[in-house]
Chain A
């Protein structure tokens, strides 16, 4: 069974840092591209960051570029999001999501349960 379990969320002051983790199981983690998606309270979904299966290709949303760093450890079946210089507008539930490809069609077929990050003084 595919499982993605996020951890590391919590309350942090503006300007602070937090590192999120996503533990993967039930599939060959090193074969899949991964993403972070967030959802502010009562709002819609926002794509945050992407990492290729090897970790060699990385992209960020403009809203987090220069502040967040995505990484992965395929030996540990884990995905990470290092979040620095946090702002109130970064308050959200953060999901890790597996990206699958069917032909040329991509989709996020498995999601973790999410971890809440609250940025407040």
Chain B
């Protein structure tokens, strides 16, 4: 099974900061990676798929990059509504699409 790790697990940042979250896969997954945002008590929300394609309606301050085993999610200028937990998901080993452990972004 493909395992995903995320770093950091927890991140404290201020409004306006540039934030980068890394997701690493235990084996190459090409660009079969998605990113989700989850706020407390809410369902996950798709941000990015195919490693770098922004989902419709998602602000352009979110971007994704990477391929193979290393991927990044970048928030160019953190907004108050972006404080949440972020998960990566590999969609290479169909259909057992595992998730990373999550990165919580908190207010400094």
- Contact of A32 with B by CB under 8 A: no
Given known contacts A45-B44, A111-B43, A111-B44, A106 and B97 CB-to-CB distance under 8 angstroms: yes
Q: Contact between A95 and B49 (Cβ–Cβ < 8 Å)?
A: no
Number of interface residues of B (CB under 8 A): 26
Minimum C-beta distance from B37 to chain A (A): 11
- Contact of B108 with A by CB under 8 A: no
Which residues from B are CB-within-8-Å of A50?
95-96
- Contact of A26 with B by CB under 8 A: no
Total A-B pairs in contact (CB under 8 Å)? 68
Which residues, 39 to 64 on A, are CB-close (under 8 Å) to B? 44-47, 50, 59, 61
Q: Contact between A105 and B43 (Cβ–Cβ < 8 Å)?
A: no
- Contact of A27 with B by CB under 8 A: no
Which residues from A are CB-within-8-Å of B44?
37, 45, 95, 108, 111
B interface with A by C-beta (< 8 Å): 31-32, 34, 36, 38, 42-46, 49-50, 53, 55, 87, 89, 91, 94-102
A interface with B by C-beta (< 8 Å): 33, 35, 37, 44-47, 50, 59, 61, 95, 102-103, 105-114
